[in-house]
Amino acid sequence: MVQDDCRLVRRKDRQDKMRKKTGMINFRSVKLIAAVLSVLTLLGGCQSSDIVPENFGMTQETEEESDAIIPHTKEDGSHYRLAYVDYDEYLPASRQLFYILKGLEESGWIKEGSLPFTIDDINKNDMSTQQMVETLWQTDLGEYIEFAEGTFFYLGYDDEAVIAETLTERAGKDVDLVITFGTSAGVFVKELGLPVPMVDFSATDPVASGIIDSATEGSGNPNVWAQVEQNLLLRQLKYYDSLKHFNRLGIIVYGDEIISGVPDIKRASEELGFELVMHHIDEQPRETKEELDAYYAMVRREFINIAKENIDAFFLTVDLVNDLDRLEDILQPLYMKAIPVYCMDDPETVRNGALMIISAYDFDNVGRFVADAIVKILDGQEAGSLPCTYTSAPSIYVNYTVAQLIHYPLEFDFLTACDKIYTTNAPR
C-alpha cells in the first residue's frame, strides 16, 4: 500500500518534461509531419490520416493528469521492488528499457545520475536487458525503487516452471511490480495471476494476444497494464504501398502469428488489395552457436524459397533475424530479384541491409509514457484503469545503397523527409 498523505502537485519543471508525452507535440514532430505530408501529397493515392493519425505523439491523458506525483517509499519506508521478464536478447528491448529508466529518473523516482550505463553503452556493447537488470541489482538508484535480485528471467532460456514458482512465491513479499517486454512475457506473467501489478511494453498486439481486453476501455484486469500502439502495422503497410504498390507481399513468420502481427497484416491485405504470401518457421532452439548457425541456415533457405514465389515486396517481421550481422547474406536472394525489403521493427535492420522502415520507435517518449504508468501504479492507482494507448510520431529510415542496388525509385522530396539515410551494408 502507498502512503495515504501522498498528493499530486504541480511542478513546472516536471510538467515541461511530461508535456513531451502528452498532448504537446515537440518541434521535431512538427517538422517531421510536415515533411511526411509533403511526400504523401507528392505521391498521391494515400491520405495523410492513413499514415499519421490526428493524435500522433499523444496519449489519452490531459495536461491536468500530467501533474507530477511526489516520489515516496512504501509505508514501512522500504523501496518498491521490481522484477523483469523478457523472452531473449533483443537490442530494441534494451534501448526501450533504458528510456523507461530515464523516465523514472526524470520524474524523481530514480536518483538523478545514478543509472550505471548510458544509451551509448547499450548500443556499443550490445547490452542485453539481463546485463542491464543484473547491473541494477548492484546499483543504488535512490530511496524509492530497486530491482529485486534474482527476479530477471528469459522465457526463451529459463525453465518456465521455475519462473512461475519464483514470481508466485516472491510477489507481494519482496516484489511489488513486474515489468515485461513483448507478447510472450506479457501473456506468461498475466496468466500467473500474481497479486501485484504488471506493466508490459512493446507487445505487437496486447489485445489480440490476450494481455489486455481493450486498449481504450480498461484492461479487464485491475493488475494488468500494457502499452498499445494502435494500427501500427496497417499504417506502415499503407505507407510502403503508397511509395511503390505491391501485388504480392511476402512474409516469413517465426513462431506465433500474433507476435509477428499476422492478423493486422491480413487486414491490410484486404484493405489495400495485395495477396499475402506467408511462410512459417517453427520456434527453434537459438542459444548455442551451433543452434544459431543451424537456425540461420534454415532461415536463409526459407528466403530462397519465398523469393521464387513471384512476390514483389517483402515485409520483415519481428524475431526472425535478431543477429543483424547475418542480415546482408540472408536478404541476398530477394535483392537478386530486385524485391524491396520493408521492416516492421527496429531501424537498425535498415542500417544492416533492409531497404526501409517507417518506425514508431519514439524510444524516449514511449519510455516516459511507460514510466508514468509505473509511477501511477506505485502511487496507488489501479493498473487496469490507466490509459494504454500511445501514438508515436513516425520516423523514416532508408538504405540508399540498397535502393540503388535494386533500382528502387526515391524522389528527392521523400529523401528530405527521412530521419536517416544509410549508404552502406547492401548485399553484393
110, three cell numbers: 530514480
How many residues are listed for the chain in this entry?
428
- Please state which of the four CATH numbers 1.10.287.130, 3.30.930.10, 3.40.50.2300, 3.40.50.300 is assigned to the domain occupying 78-229+361-391: 3.40.50.2300
Q: Which of the pair, 324 or 58, is modelled with greater confidence? A: 324
In the predicted structure, residue 45 carries a pLDDT above the cut 70: no
What does the pLDDT look like over 406-424, one tens digit per residue? Answer: 999 999 999 999 999 999 7
- Write the single-letter amino acid at 405: L
Q: Is the pLDDT of residue 215 over 90?
A: no
Q: Are 212 and 232 in contact (CB under 8 A)?
A: no
**Distance, CA of 427 to CA of 402 (rounded, Å):** 8
Model pLDDT, residue 393: 77
- List, for residues 339-383, the tens digit of each pLDDT value: 999 999 888 999 999 999 988 667 889 999 999 999 999 999 999
Please, what's the b/e burial string for 355-365 (b: 16 or more CB within 10 A of its CB; e: otherwise)?
bbbbbbbbbbb
- The cell for 80 is 518498491
CATH code of the domain made up of 232-359+394-422? 3.40.50.2300
CA distance 51 to 157: 38
* pLDDT tens readout for residues 372-397: 999 999 999 999 999 999 887 788 99
Give per-residue pLDDT as tens, 59-80. Answer: 444 344 446 799 999 999 999 9
CA-based angle 425:426:428, to the nearest 5? Answer: 120
Contact status, residue 301 vs residue 273, Cβ threshold 8 Å: no
> C-alpha cell of 83?
522484477
pLDDT at 187: 96
- State the burial class of residue 175 (Cβ atoms within 10 Å of its Cβ: 0-12, 13-18, 19+): buried
pLDDT score at 427: 52
Per the CB < 8 A criterion, the answer to whether 82 and 145 are in contact is: yes
Do β-strands 313-316 and 248-254 pair in parallel, antiparallel, or remain unpaired?
parallel
pLDDT over threshold 60, residue 28: no
Lowest mean pLDDT among 92-96, 215-219, 399-403: 215-219
**What single DSSP character describes residue 176?**
-
Query: In whole numbers, what is the pLDDT of the chain averaged over residues?
Result: 86
C-alpha to C-alpha distance for 297 and 329, rounded to whole angstroms = 10
Domain span(s) for CATH 3.40.50.2300 in the chain: 78-229+361-391, 232-359+394-422
For the chain, report the end-to-end CA distance as a whole number of angstroms: 60
Work out the pLDDT band at 176, boundaries 50, 70, 90: very high
Among 394, 399, 401, residue whose Cα is nearest residue 420: 399
User: Beta-strand (E) ranges in 365-425?
Assistant: 390-391, 395-399, 420-422
Decide: helix, strand or coil at residue 386: coil
Predicted confidence (pLDDT) per residue in 104-163, tens digit: 999 999 999 999 999 999 999 999 999 999 999 999 999 999 999 999 999 999 999 999
- Residue of 61, 50, 67 whose CA lies nearest to 24: 61
| pLDDT confidence of residue 27 | 36
pLDDT the model gives residue 172: 94
pTM: predicted TM-score of the whole model, two decimal places: 0.76
As a dihedral over the C-alpha atoms of residue 149, residue 166, residue 227, residue 107, rounded to 10 degrees, the angle is -30
Q: Is 142 helix (H, G, I), strand (E, B) or coil?
A: coil
- What gap in Å lies between CA 195 and CA 100, rounded to an integer? 23
274 vs 51, higher pLDDT:
274
Cell numbers that stand for 143 in this block: 530511496
